Structure 1
Amino acid sequence: MNMNLHRRAFLRFASLAAAAGSLPRWAWSQNQALQHDPFALGVASGEPTADGMVLWTRIVQAPQTEPKSWREPFTVHWELAHDAAFRRIVQRGQAQAWPALGHGVHVELRGLQPDRWYYYRFMLGDAVSATGRTRTAPAQTQLPAALRLVFASCQRWEDGHYAAWRHVCADAPDLVLFLGDYIYENAIAAGSTGLARTHALPLARTLADYRARYALHKSDPALQAAHATCPWAVVWDDHEVQNDYAADRGSLDAPAAFVAQRNAAWQAFYENMPLRATSLLGAEFASLQVYRRLRWGRLAHLHLLDARQYRSWQACRTPGSHGAGAVRPEACPELADPQRSLLGMAQERWLDAGLAADAQHGHTQWSVIAQQTLFSPRRYPSGLQSTDTWDGYPAARTRLLRSIAEHAPRNTVLQGGDIHQNYVCRVLEDAVPSSPAAPRVLASEFCGTSISSRSGTTQARVDAVVRHNPHVLFARCEQRGYGLADITPARWTTSLRVLDDAMNADSGVTTQARFIVEDGHAGPIAT
């Protein structure tokens, strides 16, 4: 099917692909014997609501498949049950794996019971997928006793193994928040040494390139197991497309060529993630609705942000440069331009309205701002200032701080990734204090290290940054891992889980540090 469709026809097409009902049979019959595993990339679920979620898989082409047959859609059967043996079926149906969507399958379920676990699987011919475990969120009026949340980011394939995901499975979370850099677009440079593993894929530029990159990452058994453990909510950062890109601008000289590359990358992202069809905003994947909200009863309201699609070009960045870099604020007046935004003005207004609703309705215990990078400022001893994090958009950060201060949700916690380091910060009302008086603490921030990507710095340099930033309570760069948040009505507990050795697929894990936030008292406390 040609993807250059009228917007309404395209959205109808995607909605049909995600429909959780009976659809016409197109390709392989239920009885056809297969000579390969079409579910080799695993299964996943996401976007949990009180009455449903999205189930995902992607059909893998068999070696030496006849090209003509691969251009046809396949009818995939699915089942949802109360038990792992599928003796108590709750729902079952068929879904289409369309070639125009990379043979990805998105099944949107509704009508389920709130706050309960389910099991699911897919079938194609005589092949049966792995069994996944998923769950619904609590009802909006319910105040659940607990939510166990994993937040993670940045899993460059060659930098390390995915042992962290094996430990995530053992920690048995209710929900995983993946905060960006699910794939990396880079090729491996000739002569590279010290890598955990290699691949031969080129620098990703085309839809086929990005599809192959997701297939590579999703081939990892530990990552597959983590997807099958619980539902995920996924947002993107830059490496799903290109390092440090901003909106419709990248490091390529020709803007049209970059936009075509970006749209291909965004299509591959949708094809490979458990997202709803409503995230598709138009034909040719020129826009995706990635910022959204998830509610966990009255306990937590998660505001998931998109810090790439709408951001202003990095301040004082040279066109054609491969990265945003850092600047001296006094040499870059553009940095302070109040019109510049990391989120775009529409998303800023959306977030402001969400925080206002959290405070006014009085039924949100924890307002969670899940975004891509470090929110709190980092003043470097060198005087340089990063331009790709919130430090590069100080006016936008001030606007968000003002929103939190004015609306005063009961408890606000920010989560981030991107920097491949563990940071724990007190979020201050005045991000850069202008007076000796201690500014008010508005919120708590936990920015997590990477699943596998290297930090690119040393602990000595990180320690020097901490000495210049008293709001930073903890900062470590040496180890890879993830964050584990145990949330109750009375307390938020974050455990920073780190691997002994990311180069070892069998690495053990320890808790590097643990911090709590008490209900009604902003700011993390070490335990």
Structure 2
Amino acid sequence: MASLNPILDRRQLLGLGGTAATVGAVALATPQPSLAAPIRSPFTLSVASGDPLPDGVVLWTRLAPEPLALDASGGMPARRVPVQWEVAEDPRFRRVVRRGVELATPEWNHSVHAEVSGLRPDRVYWYRFRTGNDISPVGRTRTAPALGTSLASMTFAFASCQAYYDGYFTAFDHMAQDDLDLVLHLGDYIYEGGNVGKLGRAHLPAHETFTLEDYRIRYSQYKLDPALQAAHAAAAWVVAPDDHDVENNWAGDHSQPDTEPDQDPAVFRARRAAAYRAYYENLPLRKTSMPSGPEMQVFRRLTFGGLAQVNVLDTRRWRDRLIASCIGDCRERWDTSRTMLGAEQEAWLLGGLASSTATWNVLANQVFMMEADHTAGDDERYGMDPWDGYAAARQRLFDGVHERGVENFVVVTGDAHRSVAADLKLDFTDAASATVGTEFLGTSISSGGDGLDQDSLGNVWLAENPHMRFHNSQRGYQRVHLTRDELRCDYVVTPVVTRPGGSAFTRASIFVEEGRAGIADVRA
């Protein structure tokens, strides 16, 4: 999916919102009445696009002239507001191809999710919004190629874990400069705690988020970040929540086991309903993912010509409760009745992989899938929140992939605040067992602060887990380039996130060859 149009500098891209008022306003439909004396532009949270199809994409914005208003209204009146949108083939909007109007309602915090159709496949487009006399910044997006189309290449990035209080979103500033076809965000878009940190980036509100108003204000704070806005405006995103988008280490209908072990599941479901609603209000999701109370459709599948099938997983809602304690390779993690994905999602995933005609089969996954022994020597210790705590469910998945002859199986993952490239083994205790795929665990955007090139846990992981081929514990993001013959994952490191304006460089490039499971080469 090589770009048909040169990408704009991110400051030019965001600046076109103001330029459009004088250059391209004539292309917009007749203005609606202005908002009642807004204190500032209602487009303070900028724009985004997501979930691209061959004929369209969803466009997002949220009206919030006072985004941090204490009542979580964003400074908007308690009434419906019409918002115009338009899509063009050029960034100056001289060739507008689609336009329409959506109603931003107070019930959904004046968010807009415009599902645009009738576009051409595999094309770069620019989009913007207008309400009254105010015009939004300009976003750039791209439709997916038509199903089965033979593509020469595709490039996407994946990222996760952006604790506001731990660091600046330096990686997003650099990501916005890449010519990407897609961004996969694998969770922890916000953090729920009342953290202060040491950088002057304390959370708002100051307490942990529980109510809908709490979550709405927290999202506004995060979405005001200019680097995050730039990355959203530069490419279409595909998103899925993880634990901190609701609460740390939650599972199914159960709160985290360490601090609130006896919480009534009904109380937690009410909290999840608030978190899901705010998540939807602030991200470019289609109406098929609009939450209904504590339920939201997260798992879904997108295809990119004949080159890639992307399966987006939900590893939170349907999993069993975390194991409270596990010494060594405890039997409970091998309990075949335990599930990570739930029966419906598991069947959906294996069925889709079996019928896939794409060259590369990609799983967008929240918690790492590879086995990771955390203890040096003969003793063993595994984390219970990742797939290690659901070892039988992982084995079921790997057996299914192997039995169905799924080729070029690649998992991209977030959550762990460190980077690892690993072979996925049918039996992790036997180095000679079949390799079913490759996992690229990606580090955090900011969570954990600056980090180190190598830390003590990384040394243990590499020594105790021979299927791991690369490790780094700094911040950054991952850029994946696909061709019909090869996949390359670049680990882009941002060494300093505790100060703004940090640099970035490629720490390692990991290669997978088409038709050969596992890592072919590591260039670090």
TM-score above 0.5:
yes
Following the alignment from structure 1 to structure 2, what is the Cα–Cα distance between the partners of residues 69 and 467?
56
Map Cα deviations across residues 221-273 of structure 1 (whole Å, 9 max, x no partner): 01001000010000110000000000111044232221111110011111111
TM-superposed deviation, 1:30? 5.3
**2:283 maps to 1:273:** yes
Q: Give the alignment's Cα RMSD to 1 decimal.
A: 2.2
What residue is the counterpart of 1:483 in the other structure? 478
TM-superposed deviation, 1:483? 0.4
Runs of 4+ in structure 1 off by over 6 angstroms are: 63-69, 455-458
Following the alignment from structure 1 to structure 2, what is the Cα–Cα distance between the partners of residues 65 and 263?
20
State which of 297, 303, 317 in structure 1 corresponds to 2:305.
Answer: 297
Are the structure 2 counterparts of residues 417 and 196 from structure 1 closer, same or farther at C-alpha, using a change threshold of 3 Å? farther
Letter in structure 2 aligned against 1:198: A
Map Cα deviations across residues 115-161 of structure 1 (whole Å, 9 max, x no partner): 00000000011111000001100000201111111000000001010
Are the structure 2 counterparts of residues 86 and 309 from structure 1 closer, same or farther at C-alpha, using a change threshold of 3 Å? same
State which of 415, 439, 442 in structure 2 corresponds to 1:445.
Answer: 439
TM-superposed deviation, 1:32? 7.0
- Structure 2's unaligned 5+ residue stretches are 1-28
Following the alignment from structure 1 to structure 2, what is the Cα–Cα distance between the partners of residues 471 and 31?
58
TM-superposed deviation, 1:87? 0.9
Following the alignment from structure 1 to structure 2, what is the Cα–Cα distance between the partners of residues 398 and 410?
17
TM-superposed deviation, 1:200? 4.1
Following the alignment from structure 1 to structure 2, what is the Cα–Cα distance between the partners of residues 29 and 93?
16
Map Cα deviations across residues 374-425 of structure 1 (whole Å, 9 max, x no partner): 1100112252221100000001100110111011223111110100000000
State which of 101, 105, 110 in structure 2 corresponds to 1:103.
Answer: 110
Letter in structure 1 aligned against 2:322: Q
Note the 1:82-101 alignment, pairs <5 A.
82-101=89-108
Following the alignment from structure 2 to structure 1, what is the Cα–Cα distance between the partners of residues 90 and 338?
51
- 2:254–2:268 Cα contact (<8 Å) kept: yes
TM-superposed deviation, 1:106? 0.2
What residue is the counterpart of 1:9 in the other structure? none
Identity score, percent: 41
- Structure 1's unaligned 5+ residue stretches are 1-24, 318-325
What residue is the counterpart of 1:150 in the other structure? 157
State which of 330, 334, 339 in structure 1 corresponds to 2:332.
Answer: 334
State which of 397, 417, 425 in structure 2 corresponds to 1:428.
Answer: 425
Residue range with higher mean Cα deviation, 333-342 or 411-420: 333-342
Following the alignment from structure 1 to structure 2, what is the Cα–Cα distance between the partners of residues 460 and 386?
16
What residue is the counterpart of 2:495 in the other structure? 500
Give the TM-score of the pair, scaled to structure 1: 0.87
What residue is the counterpart of 1:132 in the other structure? 139
Following the alignment from structure 1 to structure 2, what is the Cα–Cα distance between the partners of residues 397 and 65?
44
Alignment length (residue pairs) = 479
SS at match of 2:177: helix
SS at match of 1:501: coil
**2:519 maps to 1:521:** no
State which of 236, 242, 245 in structure 2 corresponds to 1:237.
Answer: 242
TM-superposed deviation, 1:35? 3.8
What residue is the counterpart of 1:248 in the other structure? 253
What residue is the counterpart of 2:365 in the other structure? 371
Following the alignment from structure 1 to structure 2, what is the Cα–Cα distance between the partners of residues 513 and 234?
25
Letter in structure 2 aligned against 1:354: G
- 1:196–1:503 Cα contact (<8 Å) kept: no
Residue range with higher mean Cα deviation, 448-457 or 505-514: 448-457
What residue is the counterpart of 2:190 in the other structure? 183
Are the structure 2 counterparts of residues 393 and 347 from structure 1 closer, same or farther at C-alpha, using a change threshold of 3 Å? same
What residue is the counterpart of 1:512 in the other structure? 507
What residue is the counterpart of 1:13 in the other structure? none
Following the alignment from structure 2 to structure 1, what is the Cα–Cα distance between the partners of residues 484 and 200?
41
What residue is the counterpart of 1:70 in the other structure? 77
Following the alignment from structure 2 to structure 1, what is the Cα–Cα distance between the partners of residues 112 and 239?
16
- 2:316–2:340 Cα contact (<8 Å) kept: yes
Following the alignment from structure 2 to structure 1, what is the Cα–Cα distance between the partners of residues 48 and 339?
33
**2:427 maps to 1:419:** no
Give the TM-score of the pair, scaled to structure 2: 0.88
**2:381 maps to 1:384:** yes
Letter in structure 1 aligned against 2:48: A
- 2:65–2:76 Cα contact (<8 Å) kept: no
Are the structure 2 counterparts of residues 506 and 474 from structure 1 closer, same or farther at C-alpha, using a change threshold of 3 Å? same
Following the alignment from structure 2 to structure 1, what is the Cα–Cα distance between the partners of residues 132 and 51?
28
- 1:61–1:70 Cα contact (<8 Å) kept: no
Letter in structure 1 aligned against 2:47: V
Following the alignment from structure 1 to structure 2, what is the Cα–Cα distance between the partners of residues 69 and 470?
55
**2:201 maps to 1:205:** no
